Structure 1
Amino acid sequence: MTHTQELADLLETLCPIFLLVDRSGCIQQAGPTLQKLRPELPLVGLGVLDVFELIRPRTVTTLPALMSMAGAKLHLRFRDEPRTTLKGLVAPLPESGGAVINLSFGISILDAVRDYALTSADFSGTDLAIELLYLVEAKSAAMEASRSLNLRLQGAMLAAEEQAYTDTLTGLKNRRAMDHLLGHLILANSTFALMHLDLDFFKSVNDRLGHAAGDYVLQQAARIMLEETRGDDTVARVGGDEFVIIFKNLTRVETLESIAGRLIARLNEPMMFQDQPCCISASIGTALSTQFKVPKAADILHAADVALYQAKRDGRSCHRLYSTLIKAQT
């Protein structure tokens, strides 16, 4: 066994990512891991500067200059794809005039492991690269677990918030949600209509058929209100048999009269519960945000309430729009 072969065998054990080059810069031996990076390109016999592009030092452009850089640190990369970057250290061999170039991946190790499917067997036994990779993987796993936990927490918070704004019996928004929306609309200077609806004769249904029948009527009434309003309108149950509907960007009286008419007509139809008819009707009062120079939630709610009770005084099962005439009568 020649001295060169003995040196090559020793290098394969100690630093499997190496190049053994002669005085002309021709590769005599390539470490097994380095050859693994180019399995279809036998490196032995090729010029080192034909395989690699020297990034630093930029002043080195010739083989003699490269061979004379004892102990110098190099940055180089493959000339073909994938253009993996490597760090190197030149150790001259005085007897032969050649040199050993010990290489490592540096910060490109993650890309190298991914691109070439490297394992711990491809590194020196004293190389900390694999341990660092394990740390990176552990950190990634921890970050993913943290992200997943944060998403679950956010989901739980959103669910809790939604629950806090929802009427459990009907699935409609509740008074808290209504107050929140009114505050937002007024702050944004949005125009809207507020419709206050009360179910007439609801108490008689409860007294005659029980609370189960009453709950059924409320649920059916909620369904009808959702069906007769737009997707971006808000329907809220604000009391036992009282509801508020907020129509964002809708103040056209004819349209509101039409919606109220449909609601009254449908709610007048008997609802069958266990073969028993549940007969109710609806009285509705509406106020517009545009009726106030400085809209305030309390004032608009009060105005709709005034209009609602005018509808009840006028015989129930009808709709009234808040006006100066109604205001004068209260």
Structure 2
Amino acid sequence: MPNAAHPLAAVLDTLCPMHALIDATGHIVHAGPTLHKLCPGGIAPWARFTELFEMKRPRCDSSMKALRARGGQKLHLILRGGPRCDLKGVLAPLPEDGPIQPAGGAIVNLSFGISVVDAVRDFALTSTDFAATDLAIEMLYLVEAKTAAMEASRTLNLRLQGAMIAAEEKAYTDALTGLRNRRAADYLLERLLERKQDFALMQLDLDFFKAVNDTMGHAAGDHVLREVAAIMIEETRAEDMIARVGGDEFVLVFARLTDPGRMHDIATRLIARLEQPIRYGEELCRISASAGSVLSCDYARPTLARMLEDADAALYAAKAAGRGRHVPFAPQAPPASADGAARRQG
């Protein structure tokens, strides 16, 4: 009997879109539209049910007699070929004589059980592939709602994480120059000391910057500070840290740098660049810089306070020697003045 000609076809397709109508010889004479989707190319006419589906439980041979004997029992089957698909089913034997055809056959109604979500993905199923009263539709709606909620939660978490990163970045950044600030410098230096990693520390002050502010205004001073920041970035490595810790005061940290000669070369190069006139509109701003430095490897037990104090002393020695120069810390360097602000003027 051809598929579409069976009198129960339309009814079964609506009520049980995953059914198979089997004749007395075990051949499928009609299959629901969803069941066709599970088989690549659809179910061939008169295909044997046991050739398409393997019975896992209860175990039985492939005869129609054995299948009919399982009537009313819960069947566990696997689709042969294509994506692995575990199915649940129930079989209703048809009378061996009477008006219901095919006589001696059976109707098997199948479902996906808890694997419905995987099946929807693997076979591109939609709600129209299930009976209107099938609880699988409600389950799919719940899964879709859960997925949407999880995606919304993930998006919110990403936004919150981004906001936290932005807030942390802002907390460690100097707003005018985009360099790190004192808080960031202290944090990095403490981490380096905790890890016992060698580094070089330079304190650098701009010379004659106050004159720029006094004669050309604070807008010119701000422009000069941004240009100074750009020059420092150009003259240092990406892994080095530059922090603006005061109006015209900077701290530079060079991880793994232990060579005093190299430290002096970097400082000298920086000062030379900073002494080049900086254009502001039609005017030229002229500044210089003084720097003092220390190496962590010169200390038996380096501490942040001691290193900052010694770098400050070396910086004071550079200013006292005429400015525009770098002085590395040495035991004979003059001690830091109690009036730090006074000695940095200019």
Secondary structure of the 1:19 match is: strand
Amino acid at match of 1:19: A
Is residue 155 of structure 2 the alignment partner of residue 172 of structure 1?
no
- Per the TM alignment, residue 122 of structure 1 is displaced from its structure 2 partner at its CA by 2.5
Matched, 1:102 2:103: no
Alignment deviations for residues 253-304 of structure 1 (CA, whole Å, 9 cap, x no partner): 1111111111111112222223222221111000111122112111111110
Gaps of 5+ in 2: 97-102, 338-346
Q: What's the CA shift for 1:43?
A: 4.3
Paired residue for 1:256, among 251, 263, 266? 263
**Any idea what the Cα deviations from partners look like across 1:79-131, whole Å, max 9, x if unmatched?**
22134332111222343433221101223323333344433332222112222
Aligned residues, how many? 327
Whether the 8 Å contact between 1:25 and 1:67 is mirrored in structure 2 is no
Asked if 1:40 is matched to 2:47, the reply is no
8 Å contact from structure 2 (residues 78, 87) kept in 1: yes
The match for 1:49 is 50
Partner of 1:73: 74
Is the 2:204–2:251 Cα contact (8 Å) retained in structure 1?
A: yes
Structure 1 residues 303 and 62, CA gap change in structure 2 (3 angstroms)? same
What's 1:243 paired with?
A: 250
Q: Deviations over 1:179-215 (max 9, x none)?
A: 1101111111110000000111111111111111111
Structure 1 stretch displaced more, 115-124 or 144-153: 115-124
The alpha carbon displacement at 1:7 in A equals 4.7
Aligned to 1:202: 209
Q: Is the 8 A contact 1:54 1:76 kept in 2?
A: yes
- Mean alpha-carbon deviation: is it higher for 38-47 or for 27-36? 38-47
Q: Does 1:272 align with 2:272?
A: no
Report the CA distance between 1:55 and its aligned residue. Answer: 2.5
SS, match of residue 125 in structure 1 = coil
The 8 Å contact of residues 17 and 104 in structure 1, kept in 2 or not, is answered as yes
- Contact 2:313 2:336 (C-alpha < 8 Å) held by counterparts: no
Q: Secondary structure at the match of 2:159?
A: helix
For residue 60 of structure 1, what is the aligned residue in structure 2? Answer: 60
SS of match in other structure, 1:326: coil
Question: Superposition pairs for residues 149-164 of structure 1, below 5 Å?
Answer: 149-164=156-171
Q: Secondary structure at the match of 1:324?
A: coil
Please give the TM-score of this superposition, normalised by the length of structure 2.
0.88
Q: Distance in 2 between matches of 1:10 and 1:128?
A: 19
Alignment match of 2:126 (pick from 119, 131, 154): 119
- Distance in 1 between residues matched to 2:174 and 2:198, nearest whole Å: 25
- After superposition, the CA RMSD in angstroms is 2.2
Deviations 1:34-93 (A, max 9, x none): 234337344442211111122333x32332333211222222222221343321112223
Following superposition, the deviation at residue 159 of structure 1 comes to: 0.9
The percent identity for this pair of structures is 56
Cα drift, residue 28 of structure 1: 2.7
2:290 match: secondary structure: strand
Q: Which residue of 1 aligns with 2:21?
A: 20
- What amino acid is the match of 2:77? L
C-alpha separation between the residues in 2 aligned to 1:329 and 1:89? 92
* Contact in 1 for aligned 2:20/2:28 (Cα 8 Å): yes
Q: Which moved more, 1:222-231 or 1:128-137?
A: 128-137
Instruction: Write the distance in 1 (CA, Å) between the matches of 2:271 and 2:9.
Output: 95
What is the distance in 2 between the residues matched to 1:43 and 1:32?
A: 13
Alpha-carbon shift at residue 314 of structure 1 (Å): 1.1
1:292 correspondence with 2:299: yes
Amino acid across the alignment from 1:11? L
Q: In structure 1, list runs of 5 or more residues that go unmatched.
A: none
- How many Å separate the matches in 1 of 2:179 and 2:131? 66
Distance 1:55 1:207, change over 3 A: same
Amino acid paired to 2:27: C
Cross-structure match for 1:141 = 148
**Scaled by the length of structure 1, what TM-score is found?**
0.92
Deviation, structure 1 residue 157: 1.0
Provide the C-alpha distance between the structure 2 equivalents of 1:31 and 1:223, rounded to a whole number of angstroms.
72
Partner of 2:230: 223
